[in-house]
Homo-oligomer: A and B are copies of this chain.
Amino acid sequence: MLEWVERLAKYCADQDGVPLIAGRVLGWLMICDPPEQSAQQIATAIGASRASLSTNLRLLSSVGFVRVLTKPASRTVFYRVDDDAWEKVVQRQIASLAAVGKILHDGTPLAGSSPNHGGRIAAANEVFRWMQQIFDNAPPLPSTARAAKESQG
């Protein structure tokens, strides 16, 4: 349970520069029962300070990772992972690659066009064109597909 949470958290921290605690929150919210929890509950579960939870929950909300819920007769706020949280991650990463692709594309004229000169950047552009093409031809994302299905039948 908590080992798995730690595994995901560590991954987030090491690879994506996400604060460790934010990663733990995320991990916890992926598997906790019930899926929506108060800041206090999460703090207790993962062993972090209440203040830290505030910071990290704000972070996770701002990037659309967790959704904030309020229950009718309660004044505490509950948090849960957004259903399309990971879809956003993937989209973000793809967008990120596209952004680098654009920068490199913009740099092409700077590298000149002599034989062994433009080679570097030409190769780079090729890769990003390849990627773009893949995503252009890709089937719709699961959530999109699901939405289409429901509206249709």
B31 with A121: CB separation less than 8 A:
yes
- Copies of this chain per assembly: 2
Contacts of A111 in B (CB 8 A): 30-31
Most chain B CB inside 10 Å of its own CB: which residue of A4, A17, A127: A127
Give chain B nearest CB distance to A57 CB in angstroms: 16
A16: shortest Cβ distance to chain B, in Å?
8
Segment 62-93 of A: residues with Cβ below 8 Å from B: 80-81, 83-87, 89-90, 93
Q: Which residues does chain B contribute within 8 Å of A126, judged by CB atoms? A: 142
Produce 1/0 per residue, A98-124, CB < 8 A to B.
Answer: 011001101100111000110111011
Hey, which chain B residues are within 8 Å of A8, CB to CB?
Answer: 100, 103-104, 107
**A19 interface residue, CB < 8 Å from B?**
no
Interface residues in A, total, Cβ within 8 A: 56
Chief secondary structure at chain A's binding surface: helix
A114-152 interface mask toward B, CB cutoff 8 Å, 1 = contact, 0 = none?
001101110110111111011100110111000000000
Is A96 an interface residue, CB under 8 A from the partner?
A: yes
Chain B residues whose C-beta falls within 8 Å of the C-beta of A128 in the assembled complex: 86, 90
Question: Which residues of the partner chain B approach A110 to less than 8 Å between Cβ atoms?
Answer: 1, 4, 31
